[in-house]
Amino acid sequence: LRKKFSMFISKEEKKISKEFLTNGYIVKKINNIENLEYIKKFIFDSSLKIINKKIKIEDFFDNFHKNINKRQINNIRLKIIEKINDNQKMRLNYYLLSKFLLDVLVGNELSMQRRLNLSIQLPKDKSSLLQVHADTWSGDSPFEIVVWLPLVNCFKTKSMFILPPKETEKLNKNFKKNAGQSSEKLFRSIKNK
């Protein structure tokens, strides 16, 4: 059956599928810049109302940490998340950013998560770091594909750690053995991977 329908899959789609299965992730440039701009503008406008400051949008995301008190970060983040999820257009714009990839990887019968999330990490602020985790550890589907949309320029430590599929499989097989240890200890055991 797979062979019969492979004629409907383009070379680019086959390449995307192979890359995802090999690496466990795909990094692509956004084609739908207008959707990204909508998201950035909405988060920018919402944030300014919350922090009550005047900042130019081009200076905002990469310098967000210069305009807030780090003790307020979680409260600010939760208020932004509430505004994001109250706006019906946000989910659509977020989905449209990666629709082509999701259709190839999952099919167009996709289920979109009900609520979008937001993570904010400030330089040298260990309190807002998202520790090593897998969404499946807290009950999410192992078939879920996570779309990570950075709103800043990403480089070096200003990026995301992803454990390769084979290493993830090893970790999952030994999951019970690792139960009870801190996420920091777990991270140190897989950091070089």
The pLDDT tens digits for 72-120 are 889 999 999 999 999 999 999 998 998 888 888 887 655 566 678 888 8
Distance (Å, whole) CA 3 – CA 187? 41
DSSP 3-state assignment of 19?
helix
Q: Is the pTM of this model over 0.95?
A: no
Give the separation between CA 191 and CA 161, rounded to whole angstroms: 9
